[in-house]
Amino acid sequence: MNPYLNEDYNAIREGVRALCAEFPAQYWREIDEQKGFPEAFVTAMTQAGWLSAMIPEQYGGSGLGLAEASVILEEVNHCGGNSGTVHGQMYNMFTLLRHGSEAQKSYYLPRLASGELRLQSMAVTEPTTGTDTTKIKTTAVRQGDKYVINGQKVWISRVQHSDLMILLARTTPLSEVEKKVDGMSIFLVDLREAIGNGLTVQPIANMVNHETNELFFDNLEIPVSSLIGQEGKGFRYILDGLNAERTLIAAECIGDGRWFNEKSAQYARDRVVFGRPIGQNQGVQFPIAEAHIELEAADLMRWRACEEYDSGRKAGAAANMAKYLAAKASWEAANACLQTHGGFGFANEYDVERKFRETRLYQVAPISTNLILSYVAEHLLELPRSF
């Protein structure tokens, strides 16, 4: 059965589309032009319960699976919106749900589900270590009933629109651990208390309208109760959430790709040059057809990843491959769409250039394409590890 046609998912699609209809292209265009944050959209998504889809019912969420969550984010992008403004809440909640103590879960999850609190941010990347995460230099040193944080992070998104942030920091120096993946821990930082008291936030102007920041930690003190799970196991906990994150990103790219392909086909049917629709020329048709084929193929891998994850099987291979294929397919669809629109593709009012910039991000963040290729080479093809 084609999961795209699954009736349960169709109900979700229709619900998300109805909400997105309240936030048409004009809304996103203006937010983009103002480099603003779509507060009203995020609030509407929260109040409608879409962002708490995967929070278990006992904590006030809907207890749905990754497949359903992926449909929600896919539809936001399919409707022309930007799921990057809300997806953090879905990914970051996993870490808390899977590794948080019962006290942490029962305090935070119902508040996240109701929208009283937002957990939109996760701070992993650092300016001097990049993708080589085990070399991070941000430290958390225990002093009595506190941890003291020092260091720097970069590209940390939605900090200015979140109450809480998951932070990865070294609690044992790299030189003192047997395995480089050990000795890092994750903390739930209350941004409302931290900013201005040891945490400084510096926004980064960037190509997409994506609120992202450099963070400076200067003796930030957080209570020991902020630690999630066991000290020293944080990197493993982060890795644990990656398969879900990559699958959701894949679905977001599928949504973008559908938006581009539909937009391309519509324009190619409507635009008349040389006395006929441009879409009558094979030179215009074929890139759109190719983008459609590649997107459909990527979508199959996305569903495989959802199915493996939701049934509790190992989803690493499918999640990585789905993210790779979908990010590539949405980018090809974006290129075809821009080309189909000719000069008008560059005009803001067509929204193509905005979505073009937005979908390009997914070949770099949250994981770059090369790192997925190295995962496949090493873990699936048993080639020697390259780094």
Compute the C-alpha angle 74/208/137, nearest 5°.
95
| CB 89 within 8 Å of CB 112 | yes
253 binds ligand FAD per the rule CB under 6 A: no
123 binds ligand FAD per the rule CB under 6 A: yes
Q: Which is nearer to ligand FAD, 139 or 368 (CB)?
A: 368
In whole angstroms, what is the distance from residue 144 CA to residue 166 CA? Answer: 21
**In the complex, minimum distance from the CB of residue 195 to ligand FAD, in angstroms, rounded to a whole number:** 16
Q: Which is nearer to ligand FAD, 36 or 342 (CB)?
A: 36
List, as one string, the DSSP characters of 163-196: SEEEEEEESS-GGG-SSTTSSEEEEEEEHHHHBT
Tell me the CA distances in angstroms from 187 to 153, 158, 190, 304, one per residue in order: 14, 17, 9, 32
304 binds ligand FAD per the rule CB under 6 A: no
371 binds ligand FAD per the rule CB under 6 A: yes
323 binds ligand FAD per the rule CB under 6 A: no
Site for ligand FAD in 82-121 (CB under 6 A): none
Q: Which is nearer to ligand FAD, 156 or 329 (CB)?
A: 156
**In the complex, minimum distance from the CB of residue 234 to ligand FAD, in angstroms, rounded to a whole number:** 13
In the structure encoding, which two tokens stand for residue 326, read together? 């979908």
Q: Which is nearer to ligand FAD, 135 or 269 (CB)?
A: 135
157 binds ligand FAD per the rule CB under 6 A: yes
Residue position matching structure tokens 């193509």: 352
Q: Which is nearer to ligand FAD, 138 or 340 (CB)?
A: 138
Q: Which is nearer to ligand FAD, 19 or 156 (CB)?
A: 156
Closest C-alpha to 153, from 184, 127, 130: 127
* Contact mark string toward ligand FAD, 188..207, x via CB under 6 A: ------------------x-
**In the complex, minimum distance from the CB of residue 300 to ligand FAD, in angstroms, rounded to a whole number:** 25
In whole angstroms, what is the distance from residue 35 CA to residue 16 CA? Answer: 24
**In the complex, minimum distance from the CB of residue 364 to ligand FAD, in angstroms, rounded to a whole number:** 6
List, as one string, the DSSP characters of 333-364: HHHHHHHHTGGGGGSGGGSHHHHHHHHHGGGT
125 binds ligand FAD per the rule CB under 6 A: yes
Tell me the CA distances in angstroms from 294 to 121, 207, 253, 288, 366, one per residue in order: 32, 26, 12, 10, 22
**In the complex, minimum distance from the CB of residue 167 to ligand FAD, in angstroms, rounded to a whole number:** 10
**In the complex, minimum distance from the CB of residue 370 to ligand FAD, in angstroms, rounded to a whole number:** 3
**In the complex, minimum distance from the CB of residue 1 to ligand FAD, in angstroms, rounded to a whole number:** 35
Q: Which region, judged by CB under 6 A, interacts with ligand FAD, from 16-24, 149-157, 177-185, 242-250?
A: 149-157
Q: Which of 46, 212, 247, 359 binds ligand FAD (CB under 6 A)?
A: 212
| CB 67 within 8 Å of CB 3 | yes
Tell me the CA distances in angstroms from 47 to 36, 51, 59, 66, 317, one per residue in order: 21, 9, 15, 20, 34
In the structure encoding, which two tokens stand for residue 228, read together? 């999630």
319 binds ligand FAD per the rule CB under 6 A: no
CB proximity list for 283: less than 8 A, separation 6 or greater: none
Closest C-alpha to 189, from 157, 226, 155: 226
* Contact mark string toward ligand FAD, 347..366, x via CB under 6 A: --------------x--xxx
Compute the C-alpha angle 280/284/288, nearest 5°.
110
124 binds ligand FAD per the rule CB under 6 A: yes
Which residues bind to ligand FAD, rule: CB under 6 A? 122-125, 130-131, 155-157, 206, 210, 212, 361, 364-368, 370-371, 374, 386-387
